[in-house]
Amino acid sequence: MNIVLLPDLVAMVMLLTILHFLRRRHLQEGVGLWIIGLLFIFLEALAYAFYKPSGPRHIPMHVLALDSYLAAGVIFLWAASSKLFPRRATLMYLWLNAPALAAVETAYAFDLREPKPYHLIAGFGLAIGLFTPFLLTRSVQLGKAWSLIAVQIAIWVPVWVFASANMFRDTAYFPLFVLYLSTAFVFGLSLPRNSLGRVAIITGFTTGALVFLAHSWVSSRPQYADLAKEVWDWQKFLVTIGMLLVLLERQVSTNEWFALHDQLTGLPNRRCFEDKMDEAIKHAQRTGSRAAVIMIDLNGFKTVNDTRGHDTGDLLLQDIARNLRQVIRSTDILARLGGDEFIIVATNLPNSLPVSRIVEITTTRVVETLARPFSLGDESFTVGGSVGVAVYPDDTTDEVLLRRLADQRMYQQKRQIPLAHA
């Protein structure tokens, strides 16, 4: 074993361990595939540590290294494609096309240096590559299918040309160049544009792709071999650190979301609503338009909790939140203040309507929504609700007084309901 590589292996194990424990504490989609891909990169590093150009371990270590390169690239491409293509279609596409790529890498690792086998593999790979996108056209848009065909042509035509010219090292490494460059491109499309992790991952895979492209050139110039190895190691750690950054960025984003939203219904909470209401009032001031604050309190919700349990009460709140989302406009703001209290700010209301008509329209719309039956198993029931409306600027131009007035009107309506149903 080349003990010089031991620190790199230990560092990779530590980074993988950190990524694994972060995933266990904060489950996130796709991270499992990232870990598997990084494990294959670790296998490549391990194979390289035991690899010697001659000796009994030459062929098995070469096979393990090249096929690990390929497996890692395929797995990362699958992980990156999950938001762009249907998951099952992507998996089928990769499974159908990967064997031909594996055949090229394995043939080269076994020191096969005749053009004909590579021509056969290239012909088979191109046929499969041209066929599979149209096989999956129900799951993949036709425009994307043509892009997949272009990638296949970019792989297999050069493989044929390189094999014909007896450039067997390029025959093996050029497909890896296309694979890793495609992975960098797809990660660039699928990760958030403002992510530092995205920058690190794209840079890492692009660097890896360029190392594969330059491999033949470096092999004929031994003086650059150590530099190429350092660049490749840099690529591995850059990808790993980039994925750690993406994971942490996602967690920070999730924490920020939960800080501003109600976890049960997914609606903005009181803190978030206050900011949004302030923006809505300022918008009404600038545009000279109206805004209405609509306070909502459910009737009989405590009875539901007491008689049917809190789980049923939670399901009821989620159902009401969904129904209210459906009836408000995209410019309106809906939030849950806590318990069974909801609030809506309706913006950009017309100045041509009298206040009484605005109150009537908004109240009727909300009351009808709350009156929808809630189904649970074989039974269904309704709870209804009390609604109070205050209109800016007709009732008041003060934001605090506007909410207080809507709250008072809601409770005035609630006092008219028999105590058993309130």
pLDDT in the model for residue 2: 57
Q: How far apart are the C-alpha atoms of 386 and 112, rounded to whole Å?
A: 80
Angle at 53 between CA 51 and CA 56, to 5 degrees: 70
Sequence-separated (6 or more) residues with CB below 8 Å from residue 375: none
Average model confidence (pLDDT) across the chain: 85
Instruction: State residue 359's pLDDT score.
Output: 86
Six token digits for residue 230 = 């350092």
Question: How do residues 368-412 score in pLDDT, each as one tens digit?
Answer: 888 888 887 777 888 888 999 999 999 888 888 999 999 999 989
Q: Give residue 3's pLDDT.
A: 58
Query: Does the global pTM surpass 0.75?
Result: no
Domains of the chain: 3-260 (no CATH), 270-421 (3.30.70.270)
Indicate the residue type of 281: I
Please work out, in degrees rounded to the nearest 5, the angle formed at the alpha carbon of residue 247 by the alpha carbons of 245 and 251.
Answer: 115
111 phi-psi bin (left φ>0, alpha ψ -120 to 50, beta other): left
pLDDT at 54: 67
* Lookup result for tokens 């405590």: 302
Q: Which of 7, 27, 413 is nearest to 237 (CA)?
A: 7
Nearest to 181 by CA among 76, 259, 265: 76
**pLDDT for the residue 26:** 58
What pLDDT is stored for residue 413 in this prediction? Answer: 86
Name the residue with tokens 């809507």.
Answer: 406
- Can you list the residues of the chain whose pLDDT is less than 50? 142, 419-420
CA 374 to chain centre: 33
Determine the pLDDT at residue 222: 81
Looking at residue 420, what is its pLDDT?
45
pLDDT score, position 137 = 59
Token readout for 201 is 């991952």
